[in-house]
C-alpha cells in the first residue's frame, strides 16, 4: 500500500512515499481504508521527536486522525460492521497511508452529513475542544468565554461548541482573514492576539471572562489571569514554552488554571464525547472548516503549514477519496 514514511526523527522534508506492507489486525482492532487523514501539530512533534507522550518506531507513518471505511474487524470487536464509515484518533500504524489499524476504543461512527475529509478533522480538534470546555473548564450556558487562538483546528471547534451551547463567545485571531472567518462563524466580538494589551478591556473583575480556552499559554497566561472574572478558569490546551505569572492574580479571583491533555482522556469519556458530537454534526450545528486539502505526497508541506501562523481551519490529506 502507499504510505508516507520517515526513517528516523527529522524534518518534514525527510518524509517519503513508500510502498509499505498492508498492516494486519489482532482480535481487538479494526482495519480502516483511510479516506482522508487529519494533520495536527502533534503529528509534527512526534515526527521530529519532541512529543512528550509517545516514542515512535521506524519507519514511522505520521497521522493520528483520519476517517474512512471499515474493511476488517478483529474477532473480539463489537459494535462495528464492515463497510461502515468511521473516524478515529490515535490509530496504531499512522493515517497517512491507504490502510491503518485502529483500536476499537478510539474509533467512532462518522456522521452521514460529513465527508471523509471533514471526518478527518474530528479526532483531535473536536474531542479536545469538547473536553477543554466541558470536561475540564466546566463551561455552561451563559458563561463568558474567550477562545484565545480561535482560528485553528481546536479553536474553531471550541467556538462552534461554545456558540451552540449558548455561551457568550469572544474569540481571537492573528490575521484579518482569521478575524473574518471567526465573524462568519457567528462570533460577534473578535480580538487580535498579536496586538499588545489586547486583553486590557477585559482586565477588571466585572469585564473578565468566566473561562479562557488558551492555545498559546507561554505567550498569554500571565495576562489571561488578569482577565478572569471571579472564580474564572483558564484551560491550557496549547503551550510551547515557559511563562512567568503572578499567583496573586489567581488568589484575588479564586481563579484556577487547568491543563487539558487529550491523551489523558479515558476511552469511556471519549465515547461519550463522540456520542454528544455526532447529532450536532448530523444537524449541521458543527461543521469542520477545511483550510486546505493535500495529496498524500504533499504531506511534508502540510506538516510545514500546520505550524505557520495565519491559521484558517483544518489541514487534511486525501488518501482514497
CB nearer to ligand NAP: give 144 or 148.
148
Q: Which three cell numbers stand for residue 32?
A: 480502516
User: Which lies closer to ligand NAP via its Cβ, residue 93 or residue 127?
Assistant: 127
Return d(Cα 125, Cα 262) in angstroms, integer: 10
The single residue among 85, 144, 219, 253 that binds ligand NAP, judged by CB under 6 A, is 219
From residue 233 to residue 272, what is the string marking binding to ligand NAP with x (rule CB under 6 A)? ----xx---------------------xxx----------
Nearer to ligand NAP, 186 or 279 (CB): 186
Residue number with CB closer to ligand NAP (111 or 154): 154
Handedness of CA 312, 131, 210, 167 (dihedral sign): positive
- By CB under 6 A, name the one of 47, 60, 85, 193 that touches ligand NAP: 193
Q: Which of the residues 112 through 141 are near ligand NAP (CB under 6 A)?
A: 124-125, 128
How many residues in the shown chain lie near ligand NAP by CB under 6 A?
A: 33
Interaction residues for ligand NAP, span 63-122 (CB under 6 A): none
Count of CB atoms within 10 A of residue 72's CB? 15
Q: How far apart are CA 99 and CA 135, in angstroms?
A: 32
Residue whose CB is less far from ligand NAP, 73 or 215: 215
Q: Residue 193: CB partners within 8 Å, gap ≥ 6? A: 148, 149, 172, 173, 174, 216, 219, 220
Q: Which three cell numbers stand for residue 184?
A: 462568519
Minimum CB distance to ligand NAP, residue 61 (Å) = 20
Rounded to whole angstroms, how far apart are CA atoms 60 and 101? Answer: 14
Cell of 106: 478510539
Instruction: Specify the DSSP class assigned to residue 298.
Output: G
∠ CA 272-40-191, rounded to 5°: 90
State yes or no: residue 34 binds ligand NAP (CB under 6 A): no
Q: Is 311 in the site for ligand NAP (CB under 6 A)?
A: yes
The pairing of strands 189-192 and 228-236 is unpaired
Instruction: Please pick, from the candidates 37, 102, 154, 270, the single residue that binds ligand NAP as defined by CB under 6 A.
Output: 154
> Which segment (100-108, 151-159, 199-207, 294-302) binds ligand NAP by CB under 6 A?
151-159
The least CB distance from residue 128 to ligand NAP, in Å, is 4
User: Does the footprint of ligand NAP cover residue 306 (CB under 6 A)?
Assistant: yes
Whole-number minimum distance, CB 160 to ligand NAP, in Å?
A: 13
Asked if residue 176 binds ligand NAP (CB under 6 A), the reply is no
Dist. CA 321–CA 303, nearest whole Å: 20
Mind giving me the DSSP string for 191-259? Answer: EETTSTTTTGGG-STTT-EEEEEES-HHHHHHHHHHTEEEEEEEEE----S-----HHHHHHHT-EEEE
Q: Which is nearer to ligand NAP, 193 or 303 (CB)?
A: 193
Among 4, 6, 32, 42, contact with ligand NAP (rule: CB under 6 A): 42
Among 12, 32, 97, 173, binds ligand NAP (CB under 6 A): 173
Query: Taking Cα atoms as reference points, which of 121, 124, 125, 116 lies closest to residue 36?
Result: 116
C-alpha to C-alpha distance for 185 and 178, rounded to whole angstroms: 11
Dist. CA 88–CA 108, nearest whole Å: 6
Which is closer to ligand NAP, CB of 68 or CB of 152? 152
Site residues (vs ligand NAP, CB under 6 A):
40-42, 124-125, 128, 148-155, 172-175, 178, 193, 215-216, 219-220, 237-238, 260-262, 306, 309-311
Amino acid at each position: 500500500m502507499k504510505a508516507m514514511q520517515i526513517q528516523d526523527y527529522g524534518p518534514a522534508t525527510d518524509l517519503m512515499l513508500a510502498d509499505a506492507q498492508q498492516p494486519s489486525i489482532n482480535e481487538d482492532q479494526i482495519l480502516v481504508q483511510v479516506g482522508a487523514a487529519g494533520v495536527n501539530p502533534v503529528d509534527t512533534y512526534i515526527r521530529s521527536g519532541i512529543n512528550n507522550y509517545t516514542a515512535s518506531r521506524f519507519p514511522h507513518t505520521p497521522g493520528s486522525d483520519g476517517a474512512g471505511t471499515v474493511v476488517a474487524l478483529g474477532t473480539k470487536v463489537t459494535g462495528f460492521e464492515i463497510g461502515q464509515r468511521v473516524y478515529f484518533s490515535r490509530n496504531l500504524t499512522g493515517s497517512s497511508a491507504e490502510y491503518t489499524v485502529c483500536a476499537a476504543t478510539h474509533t467512532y461512527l462518522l456522521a452521514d452529513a460529513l465527508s471523509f475529509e471533514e471526518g478527518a478533522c474530528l479526532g483531535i480538534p473536536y474531542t479536545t475542544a469538547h473536553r477543554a470546555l466541558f470536561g475540564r473548564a466546566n463551561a455552561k450556558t451563559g458563561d463568558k468565554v474567550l477562545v484565545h487562538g480561535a482560528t485553528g483546528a481546536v479553536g474553531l471547534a471550541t467556538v462552534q461548541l461554545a456558540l451552540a451551547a449558548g455561551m457568550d463567545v469572544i474569540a481571537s485571531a492573528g490575521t484579518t482573514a482569521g478575524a473574518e472567518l471567526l465573524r462568519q462563524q457567528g462570533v460577534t466580538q473578535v480580538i487580535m492576539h498579536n496586538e499588545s494589551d489586547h486583553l486590557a478591556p477585559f482586565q477588571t473583575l466585572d469585564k473578565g471572562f468566566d473561562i479562557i480556552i488558551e492555545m498559546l499559554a507561554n505567550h498569554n497566561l500571565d495576562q489571561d489571569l488578569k482577565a478572569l472574572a471571579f472564580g474564572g478558569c483558564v484551560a491550557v490546551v496549547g503551550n510551547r514554552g515557559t511563562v512567568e505569572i503572578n499567583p496573586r492574580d489567581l488568589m484575588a479571583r479564586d481563579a484556577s488554571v487547568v491543563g487539558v491533555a487529550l491523551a489523558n482522556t479515558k476511552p469511556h469519556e471519549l465515547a461519550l464525547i463522540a456520542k454528544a458530537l455526532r447529532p450536532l454534526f448530523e444537524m449541521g450545528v458543527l461543521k469542520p472548516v477545511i483550510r486546505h486539502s493535500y495529496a498524500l505526497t504533499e504531506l511534508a508541506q502540510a506538516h510545514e503549514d500546520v505550524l505557520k501562523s495565519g491559521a484558517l481551519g483544518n489541514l487534511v490529506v486525501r488518501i482514497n477519496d
